[in-house]
Structure formats: structure tokens, C-alpha cells
Structure 1
């Protein structure tokens, strides 16, 4: 493309030079020739005037008196009656430009100029025109190279940017080139890069959230199945199987919420529900794991509270806090419920060392972990809490106290869906 731009620019310049240069040569040649003829005529008129004046004054017409009247490059012949012809200058050879004037006393003057002098002047003019044309061509070459570089380099850069986008590197360049059309293309590519980056981030985040949210129900389900395998008591098997079916429904609800959030994260599912039922379910699911570690888990606080939110999401948040206490905490774990203003608060605490001081509130950030875990659990839990208007906070570092704040049923601004969802999550059909 660069070569085509240079060639096209040079072609335009050469055509312009050819058209205007030839016209200028013709005009200048005619002008020089016309000026030479006028000059010869002027010398003849001036010379005849001097001769007439001297004859009228009775003075002698001699070469010294006439030499200064004509250009040294010209040749003149003066004829006065009764005198031999007077010649001035050197007789020219070849073609000449000639002018003749006759006086009232019978005298005559002939002035000649060699055409070679005119040709030389025309040649010098042609050299000047040729030099100007060459300078114009050189300037055109420099301009063409500059323009080609200015246009081709940005196009090459934009092509590389598009190639990077296609290869999975969505970083915007934010580079502009001073050409409105190219800058518009760069704007579109940068906007596309930002959209692709957001989509890739959302997909990766969804995959990470899905893996983490599915892990806890699967772990609980695995524990129930292990209990079934380890016992021969029919009633125990039936009880554990019933709990396992409930966990399957919870797992199905997690999948449904993940799919719903991936389509439209603004879709809410807040309902009024019995908080005691969710806490009881979590205690039943996690007691076997705590017994296996020689630790206890209990519930205290205000009973009979009804909150507004998504039961499955609240269960997932509590499961994350209970699992973190099992993995990173120590001693007994307590779940305490209370009311503050228009909110219901569920606190989860243990007797361990708590959250390191250098982490503090950063413990809710993704990839931030105190003990080489994924760092997703608390971040996902906070997102789940905030999805229906609640919030998850670290109230105390040592011993650790995590608090889930939910809107209380009947409180101003606690919007819920129809009560049919109060029965808990239903499997996908």
C-alpha cells in the first residue's frame, strides 16, 4: 500500500508538472522572443533618432557617437546619404532578429541580433523551469513518503490490534493517530476490546463462582452418602437419604441461580422465609463434619425470625462461613441470631485465631486468602448477600465474627416475591 500511495502521488505531480511545465515553456519562449524583437526595434528607433538629430544639427555622424546607443551583443548598419555605411558591433552569423528604420533625410538604420542569444536565454529559462520541476518532484516524493508513513503505519498498527483481539488479548491500546477516520476505527476497536474483556472476565468469574458454589453442596451430599454407607440401620439410612435429597434440591437451586444470574444478574428472587429453618438445615448438614474433627457447632440468639432474601443464597452464605470456620478456625462454632433496627443479623464465630490484621476488610476480595485457599468463598458469599439487598461484614477479627445482615419481614423497603416461594427452592424441570 505504501508503494501505491507513493506512485499515485508522484503520478499526479508528474501530470501537473507536464501540463503546466510545457505551457510555461511555450509561454516563456514566446515572451523571450517577443521581448528580443521589441528590444531590437527599440534600439533601431533610438539609433535613427540620434542620427536625425545630428544631421539636423549639422554634426557629423560617426561611429563613436553611435556606439553607446545599442546593446553590445547587437549589430547595426547606419546609412547616411553622401557617407559610407557605418557598422556597429560584430556581424552575426546564422539566423538573426532584425529591425529597420528610415529617417526623413534619406538615412536608414538596420539593427540585428543573433537568434543564438535568444536561444541561450530560452535555454536558461528552461533550466530554471526544470530545476523547479525537479524540486517539486523531490518535495512530492518526500510528501508522498510522509503521507504513506502517516497512513500505512496506523493501518498496520490497527491490523495488529485487531489480530491481538482475535488471538484473545483484549487489552485496549488507547492510541490515536491524528487522522479522524483512523481514530474512529481505533475508538471502535478499543470499545470492542473493553466489551470482550468484560465478557471474558464475566465468563471466568462465572466459572470460578460456579465451581466454588457447587463445591459446598457436593461436599455436604458426599458426607450424607458416607453416613448411609457407614450404617446398617434402616431408619438412619432413610433419614440420611431424606437429607441427601434436600441437598440435591439445594444443589439444583444453586445451578438454577447461576444460570439465572449469567443471563440477567439483575433478576432478584427475594422472598420472606423462616430463618430458623435455614439455620437448622445447615446445622444438620455440618454436624457430622464437626463431629469428625472433634468440634461442636451450636445455635443461639433470638428464635422465630423471618427475613427477606433468597433462602438458597442465604444457605450458601452460611455454608461458606461454617466451612471457613471448619477449615481455618478452631474450637466450637456458634451461630447467633439477633435483631437490629429493621434488620435481622446472623453471626458466625469460632474460637480460632481469626483474620490476620494485615488482611482486615480485604478478606472479601477475590484471590485474597489467609491460608492458601482459592480466596473465592467470602467474595462469592458477599455477592450472594448483596444480590437481594443484604450485606456480609467482618465485625471482629479475633476471635472472628462474621455477620450476615438481612432485611426483616415487614420492614420498610423489604420487597418480596409472592409467598408461594416460601416453600423453599424447587428443582429445575
Structure 2
């Protein structure tokens, strides 16, 4: 698409320049030739008057004086007595001539045609240079225009692909083009809705699993008692065992639902080198902060590994950076550290922070301090909980948010406890 926009814009510009430059070159050439011819006519008429002066005194005109006055011309003068005087050097090759005549005097002026042609060529070369300069400027402008029009579209395609993979994080990028900005706004709105739907589905699955587990457990126990109490009716024992099998199958289904509620479908928590994710987010957000005259700084421990879904970590960091961009100020600092049980990533800035009345409910749905949607931090905290982590506001003024993730060793121990069951 960029190539088509570039070629079409460049084609229109070049056509316009040529439609102006070619007629201009023809007009300039004609003017130069006409001006040279008119100048020779004026010179010939003036020479007749100059010749009449010495003739009136009974003298002949001085060819040397005339030649010095008109050094680039060859002049022929026919006098009243029929004789001819010449002034200047004879011009070889093609000439441009003009003749002026009175009753008894004729003056013919010759000029080298090559001089006029060289002047025309100089002017045509100047026009050609201007045409080339115009084409170069049009090319640069066409490239800039094509880039301005296509980069937002490529960015919107990437956003749409991210929504299709379940990475429902609004980007809030605008490009200064009303139509494209409208599409970006619609995609951001859709991202918020998709994230809300995903969070709602996880909450529903978790609640449903929790509510179903207790009665199913009770049902299983009652069926076991019924089977044990049936000493001789084989039919009761057989039906009870079948019902018990069905109940156990239903328990397995509920356990699967609970597992899905704990893990978002966009990916499961795995040991992840968080440096790569943080660097990717810094690289993505640094130009946006730079346009606002702000910087992003990374400090703390390196080469840390936590058990987290990479896409969830990316979305949480992006939410915190976007929150700092919208509500904070100054340099944004990302600090990584290792505690006894967690890998911690802190995001803070130098802004005014969170008001005391909002600090305790900043993660609640629809709570915002500056007219926002109030969903960003709510969804970020939900994503953190999916992988067994937590997102906290550890300092209100200036604001510092911390994402606590499980260390690899802690996740392994928790998994072993789940597999072995209660003692």
C-alpha cells in the first residue's frame, strides 16, 4: 500500500511539474529569440541615425568607432554614393540579421546565431534544474506522506491481531488523522470490552467451580455410604457404584473448570526471564514518553526468573506505564528485586501520586482519578491473580506499584503440595 501511495502521489506531482515546466521552457526560448531579433532591429535603426551625422558634415562614417561601440556585431552600411562600409569582424557560420533602410542609406546588422542559442540553452538548463529540484522535493514529500498514512494502518493491523490472540490491552495511540484515530478509538474500546469479558468469564468459572465443588463432594460421600450400606441388594450396589462414577466424573469436570479459571487462555504461567519482557516494554514505550519530554529508567537486579505468563506480564507492565503516562510526571523508574518468596517489579514516577481517598480503592472497577475508564488497574490486578501473583500500591505519593510474582522454587513447592494433597 505504501508503494501505491508513493507512486500515485509522485506521479501526480511529476505530471504537474512537467505540465508547467515544458510550456515555460518553450515560452522562454521564444522570448529570447524574439528579444534578440528586436534588439537587432533597434540597433540597425539607431545606426542609420549615427551614420547620417557624419554624412551631414560631408564625412564618411568611421567603421572603427562603430566596431568599438558594437563589439559583438558585424555591420554592413551602404552609403548614398553606392559604396559599402563594414564594421567589426565577419561572423562565421549561421547568423541572425536585421536591416534598416532610409531613402539612401541601408544598414544591416549581423549577430552570431550561436550566441542566442547558448543563451536559450542556459535558460533551459536553469528550468530543467528547477524541474529536477521540484521532482526531488515531491519525492521526499510523497515518501513522508506515504509513511504518515501507512504506519498507522500497520499499527492498527498489529492491534487487531493482538486482540485476536486475546491480548486485550488498549494502546491509546493516536495519529493525528481523524479517520484513523476513529478506528484506533474503536479498537481501544473493543479491547476494554474484551478484557472485561475475559475477566468476567474467569470470575464466573471460578465462582461456579467453587459453588459446585461443595455439593458434589457431599454427594460423593453420600453415595459412598449408600454403597457400603447395601449388603445384599446387588441392584442398589450396582446403581450406587454407577452414580458414584458419574459423580467422580463430574468432580473431574469441575476441577478442569477451576484450572481454566486459574489460568487465562492466552497462556499458562511458565518460568520466564522477566528482563526480556521488561526490555520489550521499555523499547515500546520509550518513544511515547520521549514525545512528552519524559524518560524511562531501569534499575535493580538482573537475570531474574519468575513463574508468570509472559503476555500477562507484558499487559500488566503496559498498564502501569500507561497509567504513569496519563497521570504521572517526570522520570518513570522500573526496579526489579528478589525477595524470599517473590520476584518483584516496581513501577514508579515523580508525579503527585494517588490521592488518599483513592489509595484504598484504586484497584476497584470503574475507579479513576482523572476521568479514565477505571478498568486498567482492575484488569491488571485480575491478570496478576491468574498466575498466582498480586499487584499492590506500595507507595501513594509519589505512586509506586509493585507486581509480586512467584519464584520458580516457590511455584514448584506449591505444585508438589497440590499434587500430593492434604496430609
- 2:121 aligns with 123
CA contact (8 A) 1:54 1:60 kept: yes
CA displacement at 1:82 relative to structure 2: 4.1
- 2:154 aligns with 156
Matches within 5 A, 1:135-284: 135-222=133-220
Matches within 5 A, 1:408-427: none
Secondary structure of the residue aligned to 2:91 is coil
CA displacement at 1:83 relative to structure 2: 7.9
- 1:90 aligns with 89
CA contact (8 A) 2:74 2:87 kept: yes
* Cα distance in 1 between the residues matched to 2:72 and 2:205: 99
* Cα distance in 1 between the residues matched to 2:2 and 2:145: 9
Q: How many residues align?
A: 242
Secondary structure of the residue aligned to 1:111 is strand
CA contact (8 A) 1:73 1:113 kept: yes
CA displacement at 1:18 relative to structure 2: 3.0
* Cα distance in 2 between the residues matched to 1:210 and 1:84: 127
CA contact (8 A) 1:43 1:69 kept: no
Secondary structure of the residue aligned to 1:75 is strand
* Cα distance in 1 between the residues matched to 2:2 and 2:86: 67
- 1:80 aligns with 79
- 1:108 aligns with 106
- 1:350 aligns with none
CA displacement at 1:13 relative to structure 2: 2.6
Secondary structure of the residue aligned to 2:99 is strand
Q: Summarize the Cα distance change of 1:103–1:66 in structure 2 as closer, same or farther, 3 Å threshold.
A: farther
- 1:41 aligns with 41
CA displacement at 1:39 relative to structure 2: 0.8
Q: Does 1:99 align with 2:107?
A: no
* Cα distance in 1 between the residues matched to 2:80 and 2:120: 39
CA contact (8 A) 2:78 2:84 kept: yes
* Cα distance in 2 between the residues matched to 1:43 and 1:117: 17
Q: Does 1:16 align with 2:16?
A: yes
- 1:30 aligns with 30
CA contact (8 A) 2:28 2:123 kept: yes
* Cα distance in 1 between the residues matched to 2:73 and 2:156: 70
Q: Summarize the Cα distance change of 1:116–1:39 in structure 2 as closer, same or farther, 3 Å threshold.
A: same
Deviation digits for residues 236-271 of structure 1 (CA, Å, limit 9, x no counterpart): xxxxxxxxxxxxxxxxxxxxxxxxxxxxxxxxxxxx
* Cα distance in 1 between the residues matched to 2:57 and 2:181: 87
CA displacement at 1:207 relative to structure 2: 0.7
* Cα distance in 2 between the residues matched to 1:54 and 1:204: 116
CA displacement at 1:59 relative to structure 2: 5.0
CA contact (8 A) 1:17 1:133 kept: yes
* Cα distance in 1 between the residues matched to 2:132 and 2:226: 98
* Cα distance in 2 between the residues matched to 1:179 and 1:89: 70
CA displacement at 1:97 relative to structure 2: 1.9
CA displacement at 1:169 relative to structure 2: 0.9
Secondary structure of the residue aligned to 1:78 is strand
Q: Summarize the Cα distance change of 1:83–1:66 in structure 2 as closer, same or farther, 3 Å threshold.
A: farther
Moved more, 211-220 or 121-130: 211-220
Q: Runs of 5+ in structure 2 lacking a partner?
A: 231-359, 365-377, 383-387, 390-423
CA displacement at 1:184 relative to structure 2: 1.4
TM-score by length of 2: 0.51
* Cα distance in 2 between the residues matched to 1:191 and 1:68: 87
* Cα distance in 1 between the residues matched to 2:3 and 2:229: 84
CA displacement at 1:122 relative to structure 2: 1.2
* Cα distance in 2 between the residues matched to 1:223 and 1:138: 85
Secondary structure of the residue aligned to 2:173 is coil
Deviation digits for residues 145-188 of structure 1 (CA, Å, limit 9, x no counterpart): 11121122211111111111111111111111122221111111
Secondary structure of the residue aligned to 2:122 is helix
- 2:281 aligns with none
CA contact (8 A) 1:94 1:114 kept: yes
CA displacement at 1:111 relative to structure 2: 0.6
CA displacement at 1:223 relative to structure 2: 5.5
Q: Does 1:5 align with 2:5?
A: yes
RMSD: 3.3
Matches within 5 A, 1:35-74: 35-70=35-70, 72-74=71-73
Q: Runs of 5+ in structure 1 lacking a partner?
A: 233-360, 369-373, 376-429
* Cα distance in 2 between the residues matched to 1:14 and 1:177: 28
Moved more, 130-139 or 92-101: 92-101
CA displacement at 1:219 relative to structure 2: 4.2
* Cα distance in 1 between the residues matched to 2:89 and 2:210: 113
